[in-house]
Structure 1
Amino acid sequence: MKAWRWILLLVIVAALAAFGWHWVAEDPGYVLLRLRGWRVETTVVAAVVLLLLAWALLVLLWRLLGWPFGALTRRHRRISRQRLGEGLVALMEGRHGDAERDLQRASRLDALRGPALLAAAEAASRRGEHGRALETLDQAGQAAPRAARVLRARVLRRDGKPAEALALLAPEADAGTLTPGGWRELALAALASGDLRRARAALEPLQQSGALGPRGYAALEERVLVASLDAAPDAAALNTLWTQLPKAQRRLPAAVEAYARRAAAFGMILPAMDELESALRREWSSELVQAWGALGDEDLDARLRRAEGWLDAHPNDAGLLLALGRLCVKLKLWGKARQYLERSLALAPGAGAWEALADVHAGQGDAAQAQRAYRNALALTRGEAAHPLPTGSAAVLIDTRPIAIEERDEHGVPRLRP
């Protein structure tokens, strides 16, 4: 399509040139120049051509005269760009002192002043010199005010001043003109300063911008929601906040777990269990079933039967086995509790399972084994390795191998497990 346009344009130009030539050929015009005895006679076309040639000659002379000065300018521009590149590489490599020096030099070129000063401020902030970073941002604000404001908020937050960072970004947030990076800094500063309402308000524009990507946004959203639910002062405030959250946020496993944990702390065991069970019906989650098994001491027999029903569909879920073990501990079913917990440890060793197993041994009066299990729980909490418990000759060996089950999709085709 573009080729046809060029061809059509060339045809039009050729036609205009042909008509123009005939029009000029009929009457080329007459120009007379007389100056101090000099007399020049020519046609209008020739005069126009002479004027164009004279103009081209003057431009060429001007450029030749300005070439030495232009060479200096080009050299300054080339060196500044080189220093900008070297400074950015040094910043990524962690050589923050070299980065700041190169970037400050690169900022002497007006075209690079804003980006270079912003990167220099980031280098100074990473070195811990927050005062120097703020001074650099004062200069960068003249070239890139919005970016400098966002970076200033980040420096203040790193310096332990989230309230100042929040106050800096709040006017633009209220006006709805904050950049995606500004919304992220606003959410983090609001989290750090305890203003959870503003942190939740920053989630929607962040999601719409797509600046963080799915994983980054999901992690930030989880932090904000969990912190908001944990900060609820009473049961009424917790229920109000939970009902005001969008439906998609109320379905997040981390939010459901935080709500159930906080509701249980206020004595609302049944609402907490209802939310957890509803979430488990929508989508199975090992973390949620662990939280469900740790809720209160109400209706233990019925909960144990329900959990054992889930075991048929999820026999290799360490979280479900841990929940069963904890329920059996509360019911003082020591043998069943030990079987569930040892199987859970074989599948996925965790501090919670070791602690529950220690409760089993303590309930059976075996203080030595209980102490060893408690030590393993503490070791895993610290990131250390756990040691297996010694078994006596009379101990019953429990099969802790994963159970292989066949899963099929909606078409009846067997599904391969990863």
Structure 2
Amino acid sequence: MKVLYIAAVLALTTGIFAGLLMQQDPGYVLFSWGNTTVEMSLWVALILIFTLVVGVHLLLRLLSGIRQPLKVLNLFSAGNKDKRALKATVSGLLLLAEGQWRKSERLLKKSALRSGAPLINYLAAARAAHAQGHNEQTDLMLQKALESTPSAETAVAISQAEFQYERGQYEQCLASLLRLQKKNPKHRWVLKTLLKVYQKLGDWQALQTLYPQLLRYKVLTEAEGQQLQLKLYSELFQQGAQLAKEERISLLQNIWQKMPSELKSNEMLSEAYARALHASGAEGALEKFIAEKLRHQWSDNLVVIYGLLGSGTDSKKLLAQAEQWLKQYGDKPVLHLTLGRLSIRNQLWGKGADYLEASYKLQPMATTAAELSRLYSSMGRTSKSRFYYQACLDLAGYHLPELPMPKDAH
């Protein structure tokens, strides 16, 4: 405001001063060219010269503007629109990072065509739509991304597979991943996501086929690979035990035979295989497997399963084998439990009770107490049966509160 005020005062002062000079002496100017003469006052001539100079200056500026129209029409130029689109894209990406999905999607879609990289806009807009649960809009943005940049098929397909996995669409995700793997078998993200999808679908046989590639392309560390193998074969044994009877035994044995040798010494997998054989009714194969295993290495879990063998086996032979282990490995709670069960299976009631009592003394277990309670009840030894029944409840964590009973009321 001060500048405008000072300029107005100066202009008024200059005007007054020029007016006084014009009245005092208007001056005289004569222009002559051939037979033509032009006469005017000095002040009129000065005004005309000033006007001419200003006009020439403006004309030159105009001609310069015509040669460089971006400077004259900057607000309406394509370049400026591109700059605004780029700015909107950056803002949209920032909003996406901040979790403001709706605003981000709107800005990214609006600026896509002029951003210079529409693929980025559409992929980011698809992610924003996916975060809002707008599945149709997500798929539309992915389609636009592919149309804008056909060479980015892999990037679009990866985004699609990722969204399908997060939606829980594991079958569709698997189909997308298999197409990607066919084009690029070494793609680590694809392999790692395939691992997760197979686990979600419980397709352990497919995962078994995939496992060598996971190691070859270093998708898993050695430790992670070992853990995965333990999980993989445990699940394969469980699934095999659920097949039709005529198929499962041969399948289980085939899985064990093809399993890496270093895993066959793993107690967890040995137990999983033994339980699968037991569930399949393969008593003969199970007896041989456990006997072979215990010939070289002790296993509490396998000894317990050995005591569960029934039909299809020679109970006297089983008892004799277990007594050999007692000589070889000495007193062990689970071995005495198994000896007690096998003695009872041979109807050696007293011997069975002695073995079970010995097991309970070495290590009180709810299972042993339950077996003793059942045996003594059948033998008519009610007091001992009640004692071990209560011991079984206590060991199992069933601590009943003190309540009045009918006998106490009398």
- Which TM-score bucket, shorter chain as reference? 0.5 to 0.7
CA contact 1:196–1:224 (8 Å) conserved in 2: yes
Percent sequence identity over aligned pairs: 16
Query: For 1:242, which of 235, 253, 256 is the aligned residue?
Result: 256
Check if 1:150 corresponds to 2:134.
no
Structure 2 portions without partners, runs of 5+ = 1-67, 113-117, 147-151, 241-246, 345-351, 378-383, 403-410
Query: For 1:272, which of 281, 286, 289 is the aligned residue?
Result: 286
Q: Deviations over 1:89-146 (max 9, x none)?
A: xxxxxxxxx6x5476468557575476457547745xxxx5xx347525534636234
What's the secondary structure of 2:159's corresponding residue?
Answer: helix
Query: How many residues are aligned here?
Result: 291
Query: For 1:361, which of 373, 376, 388 is the aligned residue?
Result: 373
2:218 match: 210
Structure showing the higher helix proportion among its residues:
2
Structure 1 portions without partners, runs of 5+ = 1-57, 88-97, 313-319, 346-352, 391-418
Check if 1:260 corresponds to 2:279.
no
Offset of residue 362 of structure 1: 1.6
Q: Quick one: structure 1 residues 111 and 188, their matched pair in 2 at CA, closer, same or farther if it must change by over 3 Å?
A: closer
CA contact 1:86–1:102 (8 Å) conserved in 2: no
CA contact 2:89–2:108 (8 Å) conserved in 1: no
CA contact 1:134–1:155 (8 Å) conserved in 2: no
| Partner Cα distance (1:208, 1:389) in 2 | 59
Instruction: State the superposition RMSD in angstroms.
Output: 4.7
Q: Deviations over 1:186-207 (max 9, x none)?
A: 4554566565432321222223
The amino acid across from 2:286 in the alignment is: A
Q: Quick one: structure 1 residues 363 and 149, their matched pair in 2 at CA, closer, same or farther if it must change by over 3 Å?
A: same
Query: For 1:84, which of 96, 99, 118 is the aligned residue?
Result: 96
Q: Give runs of aligned pairs for residues 326-365 of structure 1, distance below 5 A.
A: 326-332=338-344, 333-341=352-360, 343-344=362-363, 353-365=365-377
Offset of residue 77 of structure 1: 4.9
| Partner Cα distance (1:138, 1:307) in 2 | 71
CA contact 2:92–2:105 (8 Å) conserved in 1: no
Q: Deviations over 1:11-35 (max 9, x none)?
A: xxxxxxxxxxxxxxxxxxxxxxxxx
Q: Give runs of aligned pairs for residues 290-301 of structure 1, distance below 5 A.
A: 290-291=304-305, 294-296=308-310, 299-301=318-320
2:206 match: 198
Q: Deviations over 1:181-236 (max 9, x none)?
A: 44454455456656543232122222333334455544443333223223333322
Offset of residue 358 of structure 1: 1.0
What's the secondary structure of 1:299's corresponding residue?
Answer: helix
1:45 match: none
Q: Deviations over 1:362-404 (max 9, x none)?
A: 2122454455466568xx6xxxx443999xxxxxxxxxxxxxx
Query: For 1:177, which of 161, 174, 185 is the aligned residue?
Result: 185
What's the secondary structure of 1:177's corresponding residue?
Answer: coil
Scaled by the length of structure 2, the TM-score of the pair is 0.53
Q: Quick one: structure 1 residues 331 and 284, their matched pair in 2 at CA, closer, same or farther if it must change by over 3 Å?
A: closer
1:34 match: none
Q: Quick one: structure 1 residues 74 and 266, their matched pair in 2 at CA, closer, same or farther if it must change by over 3 Å?
A: closer
1:350 match: none
Q: Quick one: structure 1 residues 71 and 231, their matched pair in 2 at CA, closer, same or farther if it must change by over 3 Å?
A: closer
Offset of residue 299 of structure 1: 1.2
| Partner Cα distance (1:184, 1:278) in 2 | 38
What's the secondary structure of 1:202's corresponding residue?
Answer: helix
Query: For 1:302, which of 286, 309, 321 is the aligned residue?
Result: 321
CA contact 1:137–1:148 (8 Å) conserved in 2: no
| Partner Cα distance (2:139, 2:92) in 1 | 19
| Partner Cα distance (2:179, 2:259) in 1 | 24
Q: Quick one: structure 1 residues 81 and 226, their matched pair in 2 at CA, closer, same or farther if it must change by over 3 Å?
A: same
| Partner Cα distance (1:227, 1:236) in 2 | 16
2:32 match: none
| Partner Cα distance (2:342, 2:401) in 1 | 22
| Partner Cα distance (2:327, 2:129) in 1 | 59
| Partner Cα distance (1:196, 1:231) in 2 | 9
Q: Give runs of aligned pairs for residues 69-148 of structure 1, distance below 5 A.
A: 72=84, 75-87=87-99, 100-101=101-102, 104=105, 108=109, 110=118, 112-113=120-121, 116=124, 120=128, 123=131, 132-133=134-135, 135-137=137-139, 139-140=141-142, 142=146, 144-148=155-159
| Partner Cα distance (1:215, 1:117) in 2 | 39
CA contact 2:369–2:389 (8 Å) conserved in 1: no
1:321 match: 333
CA contact 1:308–1:324 (8 Å) conserved in 2: no
| Partner Cα distance (1:290, 1:231) in 2 | 22
CA contact 2:89–2:121 (8 Å) conserved in 1: no
Greater mean alpha carbon deviation, residues 266-275 or residues 219-228? 266-275
| Partner Cα distance (1:226, 1:343) in 2 | 31
CA contact 1:190–1:196 (8 Å) conserved in 2: yes
CA contact 1:103–1:120 (8 Å) conserved in 2: yes
The amino acid across from 1:325 in the alignment is: L
| Partner Cα distance (2:140, 2:297) in 1 | 51
The amino acid across from 1:83 in the alignment is: L
Q: Quick one: structure 1 residues 337 and 86, their matched pair in 2 at CA, closer, same or farther if it must change by over 3 Å?
A: farther
CA contact 1:260–1:273 (8 Å) conserved in 2: no
